[in-house]
Amino acid sequence: MIAGVLHTKIEAVCPISSVSLGRIDDKKTWVVSFDNKATEKQKADAQMVIDGFDVEAEQDIINKMSEYRSKAFLNASKELAVLDGRLDIVSEIQKEIDA
C-alpha cells in the first residue's frame, strides 16, 4: 500500500510508469521508472516527493482509513440486520464496533 501511495504522489508531479520499494526503511533502494516524457524538472520534483515522504505518517493514515472502513462495514451490517429483523445478531455486531 505504501508503494501505491508513493506512486500516486510522484505521479502528481511527474509522469512515471512504476515505483518499486526495495527496503521500505531505506529510500536509496527505492526505484522510480520515469515515463519518456518526464522532464528533468519533473524528475527533480519526484525526488523531492521521495525525500519528503514520511513512511510512518502514511502508514498511520492507511491504518486509520482501514479501521474507518471496517467500522463503517460493521455499522452497515448492523443496520441491515435491524432492517432484516435479525435483532439476534445486532448485539454481536455492536460488540465488534465497540472493540
Choice among 8-12, 70-74, 88-92 with the minimum mean pLDDT? 88-92
Q: Given a cut of 90, is residue 14 above it in pLDDT?
A: yes
Q: Given a cut of 70, is residue 86 above it in pLDDT?
A: no
- pTM of the full structure: 0.60
Name beta bridge partners: 31. 20
Task: Give me 14's grid cell.
Answer: 511527474
Task: Give me 85's grid cell.
Answer: 429483523
pLDDT at residue 54 in the model: 87
